[in-house]
Amino acid sequence: MLRNTPIPAVEIRDVTLNYFTPERETLALSNISLDVAKGEFIALVGSSGCGKSTLLTLVSGLMPASRGSIKVDGLEVTAPSPQVGFMFQKDTLLDWRSIVDNVMLGAELLGLDRRRARQRAETLLTRYGLGEFMHSLPHQLSGGMRQRAALARTLCCEPDLLLLDEPFSALDYQTRLALSNEIAAILQAEGKTVILVTHDIGEAISMADRVIVMSRRPGRIKSEHHISFPSFGGKRPTPFEARKCPEFAQYFQTIWDELDLHEVH
Amino acid sequence: MSSEAIADTKIAAKGAAPSGRSAAYEAYLRALRWRSWSISLWQIGLIAAFLVIWEVAPRAGWINPMLTSYPSAVARTFMAGASDGSLLMHTWVTLFETIVGFAGGMVLGLLCAIALWWSDYLYRVLDPFIVVLNAIPKIALVPIFYIWLGDAASIYAMAIAVSVFVTVLMLFTGFKAIDPDKIKLARLFGASKRQILDKIVLPGSVPTIISALKVNVGLALVGVVVGEFQAAKAGLGYLITYGSQIFQMNLVMTAIVVLAAISTALFVVIQAIESTVLRRHGVSR
């Protein structure tokens, strides 16, 4: 699935991060190098505290790396950019704003054209089945609907790269499966480059083209798995279909063994 | 609302009473109504009993009427004060001072809390002083304020002093409790610190600001009355000191009753503001 393009969408080179607290210095990430091709969907998995979310924060430009370089579309990352969209574990909708006003938050903060943003917000919300809730307040929506509204907010500024930080883990199991299916379809249709951070191996395998396994602190890249489903005829199955393919169970077993989860404690 | 709907469907299933409600549900509603009636009855009964005892005890010679006055005497004083306008004037003076002091304490507290939120360094430097200033019994400052600021300004200063430190602490804690992911979200959209304050922190703190209003309206009244004890030539606090100096207990009691009415009225106003604002603000209840 990895397409060879001259400039990768994301280029991470020898990135190291040290955290300082009054008690100690922590090496959170150590010599991470990773390329993500345009339109590729990669998943970072690892046990909690392996620094996978931290790596996402570095790519977003909110925090500089201690060493190494991160480029998005060939340009060094120094600050957050509207080209990069971010989704959190929680929907982080603002309770006091209607859904459509929440979706327009990015455009408002970036000082973009409000009329265009509003049109796009309304289009996205209608497409995601939230048309009749546009003027509702977040507390009137279910968890899955709120997270879809958060996706609309992220896509409203038309980012090329999406960083998803465990965006499904706060949802109940059924909603999580349904929503990951839906969001994978949306992102694939829009041809976005995606980096998904998750601790859910099944979610990673079913959604991503490539799964990166990270070791425990200091976070390093332990292994990579290109995910393909020959039994599905070479096409990209939806996450739902992927879970039913025989390859799914094999990938799951391999990655499970690599994660060393039994060593936790 | 939804529980009613559920009850309705249950009854439809059973095919019951012509009213559309089952006998058991009617009985439940009757019990509920009776309960709220009986609570009101008790409340009215307690007030009535208090007034009767207060009226009878001094007249029967159980307690010295000089010390307690009677409700009927208080009522006469109240009517006399109301008809010659003097009571209204004193009430207005106290109410006005309370509202000004309350607004002053709120605005000053909000500005200080914003400054502390803006600069963590400033907060670290000032934190112990704020804690100590908050702990000082502000009433101890009344004579100093009187000497420094004179009679009028010292009352406002007292109202502000009593309420401002609590406001700063409450609001600052509220600002800090804003979900850090929401601030991160704004920063990802390139928000400046000013934008984070305007779009995330202040609107997100509306429930905290309203709680601070509720606390402060009572505190401002305390500050004003104490200030008036020392300094004023008008106001309910003045009436209380004056009445006690000339041993006119009905005057003192009248002023206290009016104070109770003012504080209840202010609280009701704030509560009305609270319920409208919070509903519009998307706080589910």
* DSSP notation for A85-109: EEE-SS----TTS-HHHHHTHHHHH
Q: What is the pLDDT of residues A237-249, one digit of tens each?
A: 888 888 888 888 8
Whether the CB-CB separation of A207 and A162 falls below 8 Å is answered with no
Among B182, B189, B201, B280, the strongest candidate for a mutation testing the A interface, having the largest count of A CBs within 10 A, is B189
B64 by Cβ neighbours in 10 Å (0-12 / 13-18 / 19+) ranks as exposed
A251 by Cβ neighbours in 10 Å (0-12 / 13-18 / 19+) ranks as buried
Query: Which amino acid type is present at position A128?
Result: Y
Query: Does residue B17 surpass a pLDDT of 80?
Result: no
Q: Which of B181, B188, B203 sits opposite A80 (nearest CB)?
A: B188
> What structural domains and CATH numbers belong to chain B?
2-68 (no CATH), 71-280 (1.10.3720.10)
The DSSP secondary-structure symbol of A169 reads: T
The mean predicted confidence, pLDDT, of chain A is 87
- β-pairing, A84-87 vs A161-165, is parallel
Q: Determine the pLDDT at residue A217.
A: 77
Whether the CB-CB separation of A225 and A251 falls below 8 Å is answered with yes
Q: Determine the pLDDT at residue B5.
A: 45
Q: What is the pLDDT of residues A145-194, one digit of tens each?
A: 998 899 899 999 889 999 999 988 888 888 888 888 888 888 888 888 99
pLDDT above 90 coverage of chain B, percent = 64
Token duo for residue A208: 């991503």
Question: Does the distance separating the beta carbons of B284 and A94 come in below 8 Å?
Answer: no
Question: Does the distance separating the beta carbons of A88 and B195 come in below 8 Å?
Answer: no
Residue the block writes with tokens 């190494």: A68
CATH superfamily of A10-83+159-263: P-loop containing nucleotide triphosphate hydrolases (3.40.50.300)
Domain-wise residue ranges, chain A: 10-83+159-263, 94-157
| Average pLDDT value for residue range A231-258 | 84
Beta strands in chain A (DSSP E): 10-20, 25-36, 41-45, 67-72, 75-76, 84-87, 161-165, 193-198, 210-214, 221-226
Model ipTM? 0.86
Residue A158, number of CB atoms within 10 A of its CB: 16
Run of H or E residues at B26: helix B23-59
Among B181, B188, B193, the strongest candidate for a mutation testing the A interface, having the largest count of A CBs within 10 A, is B188
Q: Determine the pLDDT at residue B54.
A: 92
Q: Determine the pLDDT at residue A243.
A: 85
Q: What is the pTM of this model?
A: 0.83
Q: Which of B191, B195, B281 sits opposite A96 (nearest CB)?
A: B281
Distance from CA of B273 to the nearest CA of A (A): 16
Distance from CA of B274 to the nearest CA of A (A): 14
Query: Does residue B115 surpass a pLDDT of 50?
Result: yes
Confidence of residue B16 (pLDDT cuts 50, 70, 90): very low
Q: Determine the pLDDT at residue B6.
A: 44
| Average pLDDT value for residue range A47-53 | 82
Alpha-carbon distance of A203 to A184, in angstroms, equals 11
Residue the block writes with tokens 């996450």: A239
| Average pLDDT value for residue range B220-234 | 88
Q: Which strands sit side by side in the sheet containing A41-45, from one edge to the other?
A: A84-87, A161-165, A193-198, A41-45, A210-214, A221-226
For chain B, say whether A157 makes contact (Cβ under 8 Å). Answer: yes
Whether the CB-CB separation of A58 and A71 falls below 8 Å is answered with no
Residues on chain B bordering chain A, Cβ-to-Cβ distance under 8 angstroms: 179, 181-182, 184-191, 195, 199-200, 203-204, 206, 280-284
